[in-house]
Chain A
Amino acid sequence: MSTLSLRDVEVTLNGSHILQGVSFDVPENKVTALLGRNGVGKSTTLKAIMGLYPSTGTITHLDKNISDLPTYKIVRRGVGYIPEDREIFATLSVKENLALAVRDSDPNYELAYSLFPELMQRSHQRAGTLSGGQQQMVAIARALLNKNSILIIDEPTKGLAPKLVTAVAAALHTVAGESTMLIVEQNLSLIKRISEHLIVMDQGRVIFEGSPDNLHDESFIKSMLGVSAGGK
């Protein structure tokens, strides 16, 4: 069963036809990785799902068409979103950033703080003064406070120092065991560890949908992603 399905989704922004009929399924309780070269429309796909970009076609979440819903209603259906570049609120404290994200009556602060204990110590610190890695922790923790039927995650390790990549990857690995996820990520070793379903995009279209076992095949990686296995 699919938690999320896209059928013929198209996005045109400022005259550029960025998504040209994207169709794929995100199976329930599995981590689906969305890969592709830079600029092929991966982040645009996630933003279209979230209603942040206008799109045509059909996006179905748990058997309901969410294509025309405003973003806040999509999120309230249980679609958690961790954006590229974190987008934390720099002038608010860590505590306020987390409080703002609370939708459930019993937010799961335990999970957030157990994954990122540092956030508890820094709860009164302005989020804008945190390091990039700590800001990413806030962005992830924000999404984990509520019960979500799917987590949409856009490049969670982008721009992070290797040590922080490990911390963020470990947190995602922990959460991945019990969640449905759609993740865009350039870090292939992380994708190999957590993904159970693979989608590859090129030029605004899906060109491969299948098993992540293919990521162990050097020729597949080279032809699909244009990099060597150790290159990303």
Chain B
Amino acid sequence: MTNIARPVGEDDLQAWVDGRLTPERAKVVDAYLEAHPVERARLAQYRDQKRTLREALAGEGGPIPARLQIVRLTASSRHRGQPRFVQLAAAIILLILGGAGGWTAHEIGGALGWGVTTAATAMAEDAIAAHRTFAVEVLHPVEVTATQQEHLGNWLSNRLGRRLIIPNLDRFGLQLIGGRLLPSENGPAAQLMYNDAKGSRFTVYVRLGAPGETKIYLTHESIGASLWIDEGFGCVIVGPADRELLGRIGEMVYKEMLPEGNSQPKES
């Protein structure tokens, strides 16, 4: 019920650009533009820039990163209000590595079996040893470099016997250097290595067969390690001692590595 005779206004012109005028109104605006070439040129530019903007923005973004994929978000939304990683904290133990060679473990509010604690400590020791061995390596820090990331992921997944998602730690300024396979008493383990802007190295150590669910932080001199175990995955993030940072990286790695579906054998 629009009044066809009403004068042409700016809203009409914008709607003309967007092709949103009714056919009757479009005729009126077309006639107006015939008589107003300057306006017509202006609108033609709007149409051009609209198309160009669409094309320019379409080229951005690239593939959807793992953390935005619904399958893993579904996993975390199930536990809304109490994210899984935080749930794990219910069984926190804090281990402080003693200076005189021995490891002292201080359990804080932990309801963990001794077996879990021992397994976690053993895994952390292995991860730290691997970190100390390879993080200082200049020529051969990794076996497969980040340039072959897909191959690296497939290879480590095959050897571990479960899909290993290589976490993206860009938000911490950590660039993937690559990874390697290591032996452990529970079968193969994987080590992923990252560099920060200052050249400090961080490693993410993963192996399967870890019992229970836990989350701990360990430190020894200048090295810190944040460890979590869940769904059979054991993971240790080793780097310069910074409890807060390593904890946050650990949480990110947890979210990236254990989306819903990664614990099932048939992953699509």
Q: Do A and B come from one complex?
A: no
Spell out A's residues near B (CB within 8 Å). none
